[in-house]
Chains A and B, each alone.
Chain A
Amino acid sequence: MKAILSARNLMIAGSAVAVIALSAVSGVFLLRSIARRTPFSGQSVSLAKQDDWQAFGGTWQYADGAMQNNSDERGAKLMSGPTYWSNYSIEADVLLLGQYGDAGLIIRSTDEEEGVDAYHGYMAGLRDLDNTLILGRADYGWREYAAKPVTPRVYAQQWYHVKFLAYGCDFAVSARAPGGQTTSVAVEDPDCLTEGRFGFKSYNTGAEWRNVEIRKATGQDLVAMTGDARPTIATPDALPMGAAPGSYDHYFEPIQRDLLAHRTDVNAQSISSLRLLSPDIPASVTIHGVVTLTSPVLFIQDPTGGLAISDSHAHAPLQIGDEVEAKGDAELHDFSSRLRDANVRLLWSHTPVPPVAVTAAQAATGAFDAEYVELQGRLEHKDEAAGHTLVLTLDDASQSFLAIVSEAGQAERLRTLKEKSRLRLRGICVVDSDYTHDLTSFALLLPSFNDVEVVDGPPWWSAGHIVATIIGVLLLALAGLSCYFLIERWRMQAVLEERGRLAHEMHDTLAQSFAGLGFQLEAIRDEANEGSNIVPQLDVARLMVRNSHEEARRSIAMLRPENLESVGLLRAMENCAHRMVNGTSSIAVRVSSDGSERAIPLRISDTLMRIGQEAVANAVRHAHPAHLDISLNYLRSAVELMVKDDGCGFSVTGELAGFGILGMHKRADSIGATLTIHSAPGNGTTLCVQAPTPPSLLRAFWIRFENSWRNRSDGNPRR
C-alpha cells in the first residue's frame, strides 16, 4: 500500500511539475509572440551578407551594391527575415533585365519552395510584358489582384523605386519611375495571411534589387500611400493575360520585343568554318554557340568545335549553358580560332554542352583545342598561382598536363585533394602557351572546383603508411612478446605452487610413514634378543628406512618452493643447501656473491635454482665433501651460478646420466645457458652455469623456441 501511495504521489508531483513547466513554456511563447510581432524600427537590409538570404531557384549574386538574379527562370525567389513579422513595408530599387517578365518584392511569406508560385505570401512588382504594376497573392498558385498600367511605362534596364506595404489585411504598392511619376495600387484581402518574411522574386527575366529598406507599417503609412479611400476588396482575375476580349492589343508590343530579343542571325557561321577563312584578310563573323566557360576567358562551343572570345561585350552576365550569338573579328590560330572585340547576345539559357570524354594522349594532339572535354589523370602536385588560382599538375600515361581552376571559396576542398589521387576533370582544353607555359602539351581550364572529381585516392603504399605499418607490426610483436612472458610467468608460478603442494604431501605422508616405520623397527629391535637371527635383518631394515627417510627429506627440500622474488636466488640456494646437508653436520656450506646485484627473471632464477639444487644434492649424496661453496656472479649480460665441493669427484668422461647431469643440461638449454662441469676423482667437483640476462632475452627466447620446435619435430615434447 505504501508503495502504491508513494507511486501515486510521485505521479501527482510529476504532473504538477509538468503543469508548471508547460505553463512557464506557454508564458514564454506568449510573451515572445507578442514581442516579435511588435513593430521594429526602420532598417536597411544588408544584401552583401549571403547567410541572411535563402535562394529558391535563380542564380543570385551581389555586385556593385545590388543583388542580381541573372537567371530568366520563372519564379526565382530570394528570401530573408523572420516569418513572424506582421505589419511592415519593404521598398527597393528594382530593375528588370529582360523584356518579357516581371520582378518585384515579396511580403508576409512562409513555406517557400522552389517553384513558380511555391510560397504562401504576397508579391508586388513591375511587369514589362503588359507594362503594369502588379499585386497578388501566392498560395502555391497565383491570384492576381491588380495589374495597373505604369506611367509612363515599364522599361527594361531601368531602375524603378517600388514600395510594398502590409498593414492588417490591407496591401499597397507604389512604383516610382525615373521621371518621378508614381503608380499605386491598394487592395484589401479579407482572408489575408497575417505574417511572414520578405524577399525578391523574378519571373521569366533576370532582375536587380538595391537600396532595400524595411520599416514598420502603421495606419498612417497606409493612408499616405492610398489616400483616404479604402482599398478595394481583392478580386483575382480568372483568365490568362490577353484572353479577355478587347484587352489584347497592348500585348503585341511586348510580344514583338520578345521575339526580336530572341531573333537570330540566320547567316551565322559554324565555328569550325572560321579556320577556312583567309589568315591575311580580317573578317567580321557571327557565330552561335553555348557558353562553356566564363572566366578567365569566355569560351563558346557549337557542334563543330570551340572558340575563345576575348574582349567580349555582353549585355547581361553570362552563365555556362547559355546559348549566345557573338559578332566579332575572327583571329585564326593553329588549332582553333579566337573572336576579338565581340558583341555577345544571350539567346536562351539552360542548354549546357556535355563534355567529350578523351584521354590525355588525344587531348595532347590539339584536336580538342577550345572544346569542353572530360579526362582523367593522377595528381602529381598542386600549386597556388596569382589571382587565387590553383594549378594542378597531372599525369596520364605518357602525358602530363595542367588543370587551372579558381580556388576562391574552395580552400577547404582544396586541402582534401591528395597528391597521387586519380581525378576526373571537366574543362576547356587549351594548347595556348599562356596557360601551358610550353611545359605541357595542353592545359584544362576548369569552370569551377565542382568539375574536379576524385575517382580514386592515392595508393596505400606511401612511405608514411609503410613506416606506420612497420611501427604497428613492431608494437604488435612487442605486445605479443609481453603477453608470452606474462603467460610464461603465470605458468611458472603454477609449477612452483604445484611443487610446493607435492612437497607438503610428501612431508605429511611419505616422510611421516618412514619416521613411523623407523620407530616401529627400533621398538622391535629393542625387544629382540641380541643373539637372535632376526637382529641383523632388523638392522638392515632400519638402515634402509633411514636412508629412504633421508632421500624423502632431500626430495622434499628440492620440491619446496623458494620465494625467489622476495629472498633472492643466492639466499634461496643457501637455505636449500642447509636443508639438504641437515643431518650431515660435517659439510660446511659457504655462499658468496660477486658483481652488482640485479633482478633476474623468474624463469631464469628458477632454472638456476633447480640446477643448483641438483648439484648440491649430487654433492651431498655422492661426493661426501667437507665444504660446499655456492657463489652467484652477476656478469655484464649474464648471471653465473657456481657450486663447488671438495668431495671425491668423478671422471667427467664416464656415464653421467645417473647423476642427473643430463637433466641439468636440458634445463640450462631451456634458458639459453651454458653448463660446464669440472671434476676429477679426488679433486672435488665444480659446476658452473651461466645464463644470459635481459639484453639477450630475445636470443634466449629464440633458443627456447628452437628447442621446443626441435623436440616437437622429434615427437619428444619436453613436458
Chain B
Amino acid sequence: MVQMYYIRGLLMVGRIVLLFRAEARSRRQRPNNEVQIAMDRPRECVVVSQKVRRVLGRWLHALFLLTALAACGCRQQHPVIAVIPRTCGTALWEPEHAGAAAVARARGLEIYWNAPMRDDDIQTQIALIEKSVKRHYAGIIVSPIETLPMRTPIRRVLAEGIPVVVVGTELGVAPGPKLTYVLSDERAAGEMAARRVGSILEGKGSIAILGIDPQLTSNMERERSLEATLAREFPEIHVAVRQFGLSSVPQEQEAAEELLAKGQTIDAIIALSLASTRGVYYALAEFGKAGNVKLVGFDQDLIPPIRNGGIDSVIAQNTYAMGQLAMDVMDRELHGKGSATVLEVPPVLMTRENVDSAQIRQILNLAWWPPR
C-alpha cells in the first residue's frame, strides 16, 4: 500500500516536471511580444525569471531522477511467499526452509519464514497466516499443527484469492483452485516402520505404539498403515499397548516412564511423532533400556542416539524435498500453471548405517541462506 502511494507520488512529480519542461519549450518558441505580455501580468502573480525557471527545472528533473532511482532501489520487486511450518529451528522443519529457499532464489521469489515457538501452538500459527494475508503476500505454504482448526483459516485465505500449499498433512478440504497438498507419503512411512520392526523382531514379539494423535490426519494415516502392515505381514507381532500422543517431550517421557514402570514385556516401541520419539528415548535411557527395547521413531530430531543404537531408526520426512516441491508448486500457481493435486514425497528410513549418507545429509540440510 505504501509503495502504491509512493509510486503515485512519483508519477505526480514526473507530471510536474514534464509540464514544466513543455511550458519552457513552448515559451522558447513563443514570439518575444508574448513574453512581454507575460511579464506585464498583475503584481499579485508570482514573477519568476527565465533563468530561475531553468535552474528550478534542472533541480526538479534531478530530484525526479534521484527519487525514481531511490524508488527502484527500495521497491520490493519479488513476490513474497509466507512459509509457515509447525515450528522453526528444528532438524525436522529447517530443511523445508532450505528446500523452499533454494527454489525461491532460482525463481525470483522472496520468503517470509516464521512459525510458532512451540509445535502445539495452533493459535499462533493461525495468527501468522492472518498476518500474511494482511501483508498481501503472494502465497502461503503452511504445515498445519492440527487438522480441524486449520480448515477455516485456509478457506478464508483461498477466498482472498491467495494460493495455498499445505505441507505435511491433509486438511479434509479437497484440493482445488489455488489449493495443493505436498505430503510425506504416510502410508509408505507406516509400512516402512512395520517392516523395520518386523525385521528387528524377526516377525515375532510384543510392541507398543505411542504418540497416536487424532488431531493430525497424517499421524493417523501412519498409524493405520503401520497396523495394517503389521497385521498383514507380521501376524505374530502383537501390539500390546497403544497410547495417545501428548503435546510435549516431558509429557511423552512421563507416559513412557509409566509404561516402562509397569514391567510389561515390550520388545519394541514405535513412536509416531517427534515428541513421542524423544520422550520414549528419554524414558528408555532413564530406565537403562535404550538399545535393549528397540525404538523406531518418526520425524528426524535426535541424531546422536541413532549413531549409538539408542534409537534404532527414524522414519524421516524429506522436508527438504517437500519445501522444494511446495515452492515449485507455488511458483507455477503464481504463473497460472497450477494444478489442483496432492503430491507425495517418499519418506526415508534413517538408521545407524545410512545416517552419514548423501541422501540423509540432503534431508538434514539446513542451508537456507544463499551460497557465497
Whether A and B are associated in the same complex: the answer reads yes
B191 to chain A, nearest CB (A): 26
- CB within 8 Å for A2 and B248 given contacts A12-B48, A139-B369, A140-B113: no
Measured CB to CB, the nearest residue on chain A to B13 is A18
Known: A142-B89, A262-B282. A240 touches B369 (CB 8 A): no
Interface: A520 (CB within 8 A)? no
Q: How far is the CB of B305 from chain A (nearest CB, A)?
A: 7
Q: A141–B369 contact, CB under 8 A?
A: yes
A316-348 residues with Cβ-Cβ distance < 8 A to B are 323, 347-348
Contact between B56 and A16 (Cβ–Cβ < 8 Å)? yes
| Binding stretch for chain B, among A73-81, A472-480, A667-675, A676-684 | A73-81
**B202 at interface, CB cutoff 8 A:** no
Given that A12-B56, A266-B258 are contacting pairs, would A259 and B253 also be in contact in the complex, using a CB cutoff of 8 Å? yes
Contacts of A74 in B (CB 8 A): 87-89, 117-118
Q: Are B87 and A116 in contact (CB under 8 A)?
A: yes
A348 in contact with B114 (CB, 8 Å):
no
In the complex, which residue of chain B has the Cβ closest to the Cβ of A118? Answer: B114
A414 contacts chain B at the CB level, 8 A cutoff: no
- When distances are taken between beta carbons in the complex, the residues of chain B under 8 Å from A243 are 91, 303, 355, 361, 364
The answer to whether A9 and B257 have CB atoms under 8 Å apart is no
The number of residue pairs between A and B whose CB atoms lie closer than 8 Å in the complex comes to 163
- At the interface with chain A, which of B35-43, B171-179, B227-235, B334-342? B35-43
Task: Compute how far the CA of A73 lies from the CA of B305 in the bound complex, rounded to whole angstroms.
Answer: 24
Q: Give min CB distance, A55 to chain B, whole Å.
A: 13
Q: Is the CB of A9 within 8 A of B45?
A: yes
Contact A238 B253 (CB under 8 A): no
Q: How far is the CA of A255 from the CA of B368 in the complex (A)?
A: 27
Interface string of B292-309 (1 = CB under 8 A from A): 000000000011110110
Q: Does B250 contact A (CB under 8 A)?
A: yes
Chain B interface category by residue count: 35 or more
Which residue from A73, A248, A288 sits with its C-beta under 8 Å from B303?
A248
Q: Please name all residues of chain B whose beta carbon is closer than 8 Å to the beta carbon of A568 when the two chains form the complex.
A: none
Q: Are A116 and B89 within 8 A (Cβ)?
A: yes
Q: Which residue of B lies closest to A249 (CB)?
A: B304
Please measure, in the bound complex, the distance between the C-alpha atom of A115 and the C-alpha atom of B124, giving whole angstroms: 10
Question: Hey, what's the 0/1 contact readout for A233-246 against B, CB within 8 Å counting as 1?
Answer: 00011111111010
Q: Is the CB of A140 within 8 A of B41?
A: no
Q: How far is the CB of A75 from chain B (nearest CB, A)?
A: 5
Query: How near does chain B come to A242, taking the closest CB pair, in angstroms?
Result: 4
B158 at the interface (CB under 8 A from A): no
Is A256's beta carbon under 8 Å from chain B? yes
B19 neighbours in A (Cβ, 8 Å):
11
Chain B contacts with A in 235-279, Cβ cutoff 8 A: 247-251, 253-254, 257-258, 261
Q: Residue of B at shortest CB range from A57?
A: B117
A479 to B12, CA, bound (A): 56
Instruction: Decide if A140 touches B117 in the complex (CB within 8 Å).
Output: no
Which residues between 230 and 279 of chain A lie within 8 Å of chain B, taking CB atoms?
236-243, 245, 248-249, 251-252, 255-256, 258-260, 262-264, 266
**Least distance between A290 CB and chain B CB atoms (Å):** 11
- Closest Cβ–Cβ distance, residue A132 to chain B (whole Å): 15
A236 touches B367 (CB 8 A): yes
Q: Does A579 contact B (CB under 8 A)?
A: no
B148 within 8 A of A: no
Question: Please, how many angstroms separate the alpha-carbon atoms of A142 and B91 in the complex?
Answer: 12
| Chain B residue at minimal CB-CB distance from A239 | B364
- Contact check, A350 vs B118: say whether CB atoms are below 8 A apart: yes
In the assembled complex, A489 has its CB within 8 A of some CB on chain B: no
Answer whether A9 and B303 are a contact pair too, CB < 8 Å, given A115-B88, A348-B248.
Answer: no
| B250 with A348: CB separation less than 8 A | yes
The closest CB in chain B to the CB of A140 belongs to B113
> Are the C-beta atoms of B118 and A73 separated by less than 8 Å?
yes
With A116-B89, A264-B257 as contacts: A252 and B304 at CB distance below 8 Å: yes
Indicate if B46 sits at the interface (CB-CB under 8 A).
yes
Q: Which B residue's beta carbon lies closest to that of A100?
A: B249
Question: Given A115-B115, A142-B89, A262-B282, does the pair A238, B366 have CB atoms closer than 8 Å?
Answer: yes
Q: Mark A113-142, 1 if CB is under 8 A from B, else 0.
A: 111111000000000000000000001111
- Pick the contact of A351 from B251, B365, B368 — CB < 8 Å? B251
Smallest CB gap from B91: residue in A: A240
Contact A255 B118, CB 8 Å, known A143-B369, A240-B303, A348-B250 = no
CB-CB contacts below 8 Å: B64-113 with A: 87-89, 91, 94, 97-98, 101, 111-113
Docked-complex contact A75 and B46, CB < 8 angstroms? no
Chain B residues near A264: list those with CB within 8 A.
Answer: 250, 253-254, 257
CB-defined contacts of B25 to chain A, threshold 8 Å? none
Chain B residue numbers with a CB within 8 Å of A242 are 302-304
Partner among B38, B48, B120, B286 whose Cβ is within 8 Å of the Cβ of A13: B48
B60 adjacent to A15 (CB under 8 Å): yes
B134 at the interface (CB under 8 A from A): no
Q: What residues of chain B lie closer than 8 Å to A239, measured between beta carbons?
A: 361, 364-366
| A470 close to B (CB within 8 Å) | no
CB distance from B81 to the nearest CB of A (A): 12
Task: Flag whether A281 is at the interface (Cβ < 8 A).
Answer: no
Q: B97 touching A141 by the CB < 8 A rule?
A: yes
Question: B372 contacts the other chain (Cβ, under 8 Å)?
Answer: yes
Given contact pairs A140-B111, A190-B372, a sample of 11 additional A-B residue pairs in the complex whose CB atoms are under 8 Å apart: A12-B48, A22-B63, A57-B117, A113-B114, A116-B89, A118-B114, A142-B89, A203-B89, A238-B98, A263-B257, A348-B251
The 3 lowest CB-CB distance pairs between A and B, nearest first, are A259-B282, A348-B250, A248-B304
27 CB < 8 A contacts A-B: A2-B42, A2-B45, A9-B48, A11-B16, A11-B19, A15-B16, A57-B117, A74-B88, A74-B118, A117-B89, A118-B114, A142-B89, A143-B369, A203-B89, A236-B369, A238-B365, A239-B364, A240-B94, A240-B303, A243-B91, A243-B303, A252-B304, A258-B282, A262-B249, A262-B253, A262-B254, A264-B250
Q: What residues of chain B have their CB less than 8 Å away from a CB belonging to chain A?
A: 16, 19-20, 23, 37-38, 41-42, 45-48, 52-53, 56, 59-60, 63, 87-89, 91, 94, 97-98, 101, 111-118, 120, 124, 247-251, 253-254, 257-258, 261, 282-283, 285-286, 302-305, 307-308, 355-356, 361, 364-369, 372
Contact residues of A with B, CB < 8 Å? Answer: 1-2, 5-6, 8-13, 15-16, 19, 22, 57, 73-76, 113-118, 139-143, 190, 203, 236-243, 245, 248-249, 251-252, 255-256, 258-260, 262-264, 266, 288, 323, 347-348, 350-351
